[in-house]
Amino acid sequence: RAALLDVDGLHVRYRTRRGLLHAVDGVSLSLQAGQTLGLVGESGCGKSSLGKAVMRLIEPAAGTIRLDGVDITHLGPAGLRPHRRRFQMVFQDPGGSLDPRQRIGRSLRTPLDLHRLGTPAQRAERVRELMLQVGLRPELADRQPHEFSGGQRQRIAIARALALNPALIVCDEPVSALDVSLQAQILNLLSDLQQRYGMAYLFISHDLGVVQHLADRVAVMYLGRIVELAPRERIWRSPAHPYTQALIDAIPVMDPRHERNAGAIHGDLPNPFQPPAGCSFHTRCPHALPVCREQAPALREIGPGHHAACHLHGEAAGHASQIVHFVR
């Protein structure tokens, strides 16, 4: 079955005062209709740039993006318009996507008006329905964004993304600004909505613990590249890449009886303008081999649907007996 989203060899570069930043450095991934791909990594690893490129908010430097088999990589505004309904985005800060002076009923209605969906009465009914779908009372549609809490504003942003029945929603850190109990509510809402309406999510977060709630598959990004890609339970139970292992160790444990410091990942993220040669994780990797400083490991399949870019799992490791499995 053809993928809903198919990204192949994607590069995103920014020209900045400090030089050329290679934010996304040859990423390939695909996402089936109705599925969730979690995209995880530290801030600055290129995941938001990847999300924005998929949404075609920025134009990639190279590679292709196909949505339902249609190459949208270089479409201009007019060419993108018919596809815009099919993909939507939810951001960390819902304030950013909501006009502060606009009543939220109007914000929800705008996409329906722009796409001339149904009669005015049908659009008003659709706004009511959207409010209910995200667990808000329709009477609140007359209020302005500042009259809602952060969690409610995120519900409104989700309702707005739902308005046109998209096939794909790119969620960029949608719960990162919320406290833990609200995070769970929003994640449950996203999961319920997916079950009811069958849209796919590209779910971006710096927090692997959050991604694990929703994702069918997880892609781990480091300095612009995918270093591991696997079904959720493989990532959790048998992470192959030392960076993935470090992200798992960094998940805070909430049980107060077993308080543990979230294990910070050793060392700082290298300067992204001058990524280390070889495996770009070698400056922080506790398992680095001499070859890691010289050769960049390719992303290769190491198990069913499980891909990793690490010499511990490649030809350079020599014998299969040297393959390391991290045990949790």
DSSP letters, 10-42, are EEEEEEETTEEEEEEEEEEEEE-TT-EEEEE--
6: CB partners within 8 A, 6+ apart: 30, 31, 64, 65, 66, 69
We find the least distance from the C-beta atom of residue 168 to Mg ion, in angstroms, to be 18
Which CB atom, from 27 or from 168, has the smaller least distance to ligand SF4? 27
Which CB atom, from 48 or from 73, has the smaller least distance to Mg ion? 48
Burial class (CB in 10 A: 0-12, 13-18, 19+), 138: middle
Name which of 151, 134, 152 is nearest 143 in CA terms. 152
Q: Is 310 among the residues that bind ligand SF4 (CB under 6 A)?
A: yes
DSSP letters, 241-265, are SHHHHHHHHTSPP--GGG-----PP
We find the least distance from the C-beta atom of residue 11 to ligand SF4, in angstroms, to be 21
Q: Is 52 among the residues that bind ligand SF4 (CB under 6 A)?
A: no
Site string for ligand SF4, 227-266 (x = CB under 6 A): --------------xx------------------------
Residue 288: name its binding partner from Mg ion, ligand SF4, none (Cβ under 5 to 8 Å by kind): ligand SF4
SS3 label, residue 121: helix
We find the least distance from the C-beta atom of residue 303 to ligand SF4, in angstroms, to be 16
Report the helix count and the strand count for the chain, using DSSP H and E: 10, 12
Q: Which stretch binds ligand SF4 (CB under 6 A): 185-193, 199-207, 247-255, 310-318?
A: 310-318
Given 35, 48, 183, 212, the residue binding Mg ion (CB under 5 A): 48
Which parts of 260-289 interact with ligand SF4 (CB under 6 A)?
279, 281-282, 285, 287-289
Are 222 and 280 in contact by the 8 Å Cβ rule? The answer is yes
C-alpha–C-alpha distance, residues 6 and 244, integer Å = 23
**Binding-site ranges for ligand SF4 (CB under 6 A):** 241-242, 279, 281-282, 285, 287-289, 292, 297, 310-312
**Binding-site ranges for Mg ion (CB under 5 A):** 48
